[in-house]
Structure 1
């Protein structure tokens, strides 16, 4: 893989998809449909998916591509592939809360090594550079103009006063029970893969997810967090979360700064 070409392609496609998404977000009304699993889908999901998929296939025709909005891709088998969630946080999009992202990632041998997470409504973009270091880009966020690349790194947390981030739309009692095992200074809610990025920047220390997610939900955020020195492990055994599973479904997991003293499930 040409990592420089990958970095440039993922960045450019994420920004272009973000523009398409925001065009629809700015409309007075837009249709919301239900998929076979009853999850919502909008024209923004579909338009962003078409744009990203076409772009990735043009540049990387020989790399397996898995994307949420193309069910035929969910039967693909392999441990090295591109994986896309064109609009992560559709519920946040529908309710106009702004916490939605474009997620594009590259998984190698079951490990997300490169990724981009772009939150167009918040004008925040995080990605792994060709060298594997994660950055947050600030500035115009224009496809042809690269702004300031600010290196990001996880926090050095105080285990007696942790900053916790949890899901905005999928919070439940099991999550609260686990969080209550820690000494928490502050807790915030966030939607989509932004939660990984808040840990990657040191704005939060730990994100436990006791609920269903798919690999396209997490791979890009996982890559960004890894490139900032963080980890993502399975909830039950604290082993590294891996990708390329048969159904692309994740077990429960914990994303965190390595200096957090993890509690048992």
Structure 2
């Protein structure tokens, strides 16, 4: 893989997708339907998917593309693949809460090695550079010229006063019970893959997810967090969270900054 080209293409496609998403987001109304699993989908999901898929297939025609909105891609496997959630946080989008993202990632041998997470309504853009390090770009954003880049890094956590981030739309008692095992200084809620990015920037120390997710939900944020010095492990045995599973479904997991004293479930 040409990582310089991948960095440029993923960034530009995330911005292009963000533009079409925001056009629909700012309209008077948008069509909301249910998919076969009863999860919501909107015209913005589909429009963003079309932009990203066309761009990735043009740039990397020989690399498998797996995307949430194309069910026929979910049965395909490869050692290296691109994986996309064109609009992560559809519920946040529908309720106009702003915590939704465009997620594009590249996975090699089970690990997300490059990714971009763009939150167009928040004006925040995170991505891995060609060398694997993670940055946050300062807006306003331009598809041509890259704006000022700030290296991001996980914090050095204080296990006596941890900063925790949890899901805004999927918070439940099991999550609260697990968080209760830690000494928590403060807690915040966020939607979509922004939670990974808050750990990556040091705005949080740990993000536990006790609930169903798919690989396209997590791969880009996982890549950004790894590039910032963090990691993601399975909830049950703290083994690395891997990708390319037969159904692209994730087990429960914990995203964290090294130094957090992880508790067992």
TM-score bracket relative to the smaller structure: over 0.9
1:47 maps to 47
* 1:130-149 mapped onto 2 (5 Å cutoff): 130-149=130-149
CA deviations on 1:28-47 (whole Å, 9 max, x unpaired) are 11110100000000000000
The number of residues matched between the two structures is: 265
2:60 maps to 60
* Contact kept? 1:197, 1:221, Cα under 8 Å: yes
Q: Which 5+ residue runs of structure 1 have no aligned equivalent?
A: none
Distance in 2 between residues matched to 1:224 and 1:112, nearest whole Å = 9
2:23 maps to 23
- TM-fit CA distance, 1:140: 2.0
* Contact kept? 1:81, 1:108, Cα under 8 Å: yes
- CA RMSD in angstroms comes to 0.4
Distance in 2 between residues matched to 1:170 and 1:139, nearest whole Å = 29
- TM-fit CA distance, 1:250: 0.1
Distance in 2 between residues matched to 1:215 and 1:228, nearest whole Å = 20
Q: Which runs of 4+ in 1 moved over 2 A?
A: none
- TM-fit CA distance, 1:139: 2.8
Q: Secondary structure at the match of 1:97?
A: coil
Q: Secondary structure at the match of 2:126?
A: strand
1:253 maps to 253
Distance in 1 between residues matched to 2:93 and 2:208, nearest whole Å = 23
* Contact kept? 1:127, 1:224, Cα under 8 Å: yes
Distance in 2 between residues matched to 1:78 and 1:61, nearest whole Å = 14
- TM-fit CA distance, 1:79: 2.6
- Structure 1 stretch displaced more, 102-111 or 77-86: 77-86
Distance in 1 between residues matched to 2:193 and 2:139, nearest whole Å = 21
* Contact kept? 1:79, 1:243, Cα under 8 Å: no
Scaled by the length of structure 2, what TM-score is found?
A: 1.00
Q: Secondary structure at the match of 1:233?
A: strand
Task: Answer yes or no: is 1:180 the counterpart of 2:180.
Answer: yes
Distance in 2 between residues matched to 1:168 and 1:202, nearest whole Å = 19
Scaled by the length of structure 1, what TM-score is found?
A: 1.00
* Contact kept? 2:123, 2:139, Cα under 8 Å: no
